[in-house]
Amino acid sequence: MTEFEKSITNFNQQLNVDHIKYFNTEKLKSAKQRTDGIIIAGMGGSGLAGRILRDIRHEINLNIPIKIWPDYNLPKHSFKNPLIIYTSFSGDTAETVSSYLSGKKFIRAVVTTGGQLKKIAEKDKVPLALFEAGNLQPRQATGFCFYAILGLLKNTFPKLKVLNMDKSINTKKNQLLGKELADRLAKKIIMIYTTSNNSHLAYNWKIRLNETSKALAFYNIVPEMCHNEIVSFDNDFKNFICIFLNDSNDNPENKKRIKIISQLLKNRNIDYLNINLKGKNVFQKVFQSINLADWLSYYLALNNNQNPEDIKIINQLKKSMA
């Protein structure tokens, strides 16, 4: 078993706040009464945890606006006293470090494994959540990043609902399904669709398929895609497949739309897959889906004769930017 494969198998180990080390969190406790919004700054796989939190916040008793910022500096915002959480697996992500340096007048916290952000956070004595990088790729550490953010926020919002899921994800079952699905996707351009409530999961699938499988993958939202993107299905495209991530809690009108879209695809001989999100609660649905996407993208990489760990072009870009 490769280290990459082992990391997917051991995904459950990430899903518990007890695996995170926290420092200087007393500053977050005093921020409860004045925090009117949260900004989560992070890129790629590191920033994915913030997208998950934004989309499920009401279900975990976090009734406060969240803005995601995947760029340099800080965004324009209407918050008077935001809490800004910077998340970077390496701690050296240029965009996230830039955001940190431009946000000194606000309450700040950092999630990382080390690097520049760890050093700066320790120097500035800001709240810090650390976890071990091990042999993980940044996109494989979504569980650690998510629970690290939850652990920080629990100090400011004591009623935040945190469910430890370190015994709840069936990685073996996901492995079998992921391998089966990968056989359908080899050499395909992949379109991923879901509803607004689960846009974070569609984005996650895209990230995994792009980086691990080296596959062209894109995502969009139902019903929005029904007003524009669906028209492209009348073109004579042969080399793509659509994946629908379905949730039992979706709006009935959107469920109806997805059924009709599937039939329209079938009528045009366009391949598609319907995948039902499974879980007893929102945490389980999220992390079952992420683990399945990891297995699928891993086996698709092998089917496509690609190295799952290789991100050569990203490293070339970073070197040129430096």
Nearest to 248 by CA among 296, 284, 293, 301: 284
Domain at 289, CATH number? 3.40.50.10490
Strand 66-69 versus strand 217-222 pairing type: unpaired
Question: Tokens for 313?
Answer: 């072009």
Predicted confidence at residue 140, as pLDDT, reads 94
Residues 73, 125 within the same domain: yes
Residues 148, 275 within the same domain: no
Interval 27-68: pLDDT, tens: 898 877 789 999 999 998 889 999 999 999 999 999 999 999
Interval 262-312: pLDDT, tens: 999 999 999 999 999 999 999 999 999 999 999 999 999 999 999 999 999
| Model confidence, pTM | 0.95
Residues sharing a CB contact under 8 Å with residue 61, sequence separation 6 or more, in sequence order? 157, 159, 160, 161
322 part of a folded domain: no
Residues 197, 271 within the same domain: yes
Over its C-alpha atoms, the chain yields an Rg (Å, rounded) of 20
The number of folded domains in the chain is: 2
Predicted confidence at residue 33, as pLDDT, reads 73
Residues 84, 143 within the same domain: yes
102 part of a folded domain: yes
Residues 200, 284 within the same domain: yes
Look at residues 156, 180, 205 and tell me which one is the last residue of a structural domain.
156
Rounded CA gap, 128 and 27, in Å?
11
Residues 106, 210 within the same domain: no
Q: Which domain holds residue 73?
A: 17-156
Strand 189-195 versus strand 128-130 pairing type: unpaired
Beta carbons within 10 angstroms of residue 49's beta carbon: 25
Q: Is the peptide bond before 223 cis (omega within 30 degrees of 0)?
A: yes
6 part of a folded domain: no
Interval 163-219: pLDDT, tens: 999 999 999 999 999 999 999 999 899 999 999 999 999 999 999 999 999 999 999
Q: Per-residue DSSP letters for 21-88?
A: EEESTHHHHTTTTT--EEEEE--HHHHHHHHHHHHHGGGGT--S-EEEE-SSS------SSEEEEEEE
Residues 150, 22 within the same domain: yes
- Farthest-apart Cα atoms in the chain, separation: 62
Annotate 210-244 with b (16+ C-beta within 10 A) or e (fewer). Answer: bbbbbbebebbbbeebbeeebeebeeeeeebbbbb
Residues 69, 107 within the same domain: yes
